[in-house]
Amino acid sequence: MRTKTQRIALASGLAILSMAALAACSSGAATTTPAASAAAGGVDLAAAGCPATVVIQTDWNPEAEHGHLYELLGPDPVVNADQKSVSGPLYSKGAATGVNVEIRSGGPAIGFQTVTSQMYADPDITLGYVTTDEAVQLSADQPTTAVFAPLDKTPLMIMWDPATYPDVKTIADLGKTDAVVRYFGGSAYMEYLISAGILKKENTDGSYDGTPASFVADQGKSGQQGFASAEPYQYQYEVPAWGKPVAYQTLDEAGYPVYASAMSIRSGDKEKLSGCLAALVPVLQQAEVDYFASPDAVNSMILDLVTQFNTGWVYSQGMADYSVKTQVEKGIVGNGDNSTLGDMDAANIQKVIDIDTPIYAAGGKAVKTGLTAVDIATNEFIDTSIGMK
Q: Which amino acid type is present at position 380?
A: E
Contact 349, 375 (CB under 8 A): no
Instruction: Answer yes or no: do 321 and 299 share one domain.
Output: yes
At 113-158, the pLDDT tens digits run 999 999 999 999 999 999 999 999 999 999 999 999 999 999 999 9
pLDDT above 90: residue 32: no
Instruction: Answer yes or no: do 183 and 85 share one domain.
Output: no
Q: pTM (2 decimals)? A: 0.91
Domain boundary among 221, 250, 279: 250
Q: Which residues make beta-bridge pairs with 145?
A: 265
Please state which of the ranges 18-22, 173-177, 231-235 shows the lowest mean pLDDT: 18-22
Residue 7 in any domain: the answer is no
Instruction: Answer yes or no: do 327 and 262 share one domain.
Output: yes
Give the CA distances from residue 23 to residues 76, 84, 88, 305, in Å, rounded to whole numbers and listed in that order: 8, 18, 15, 12
Q: Which one, of 199, 188, 192, lies nearest residue 224 by Cα? A: 199
Output 364 or 17, whichever has higher pLDDT: 364
Please tell me the total count of domains within the chain.
Answer: 2
Domain boundary among 194, 225, 250: 250
Instruction: Answer yes or no: do 237 and 317 share one domain.
Output: no
What was the pLDDT predicted at 111?
Answer: 93
Distance CA 139, CA 367 (A): 6
Instruction: Answer yes or no: do 274 and 227 share one domain.
Output: no
Left if phi > 0, otherwise alpha if psi is -120 to 50, otherwise beta: which for 59? alpha
Instruction: Answer yes or no: do 40 and 119 share one domain.
Output: yes
Q: Where are the beta strands (DSSP E) in the chain?
A: 26-27, 53-57, 78-80, 85-92, 95-104, 125-130, 144-148, 156-160, 181-182, 204-205, 223-227, 247-250, 262-266
Residue 160 in any domain: the answer is no
Residue 388 in any domain: the answer is no
Range of the domain at 218: 166-250
For residue 217, give every residue at least 6 positions away whose Cβ sits within 8 Å of its Cβ, in sequence order, or none: none
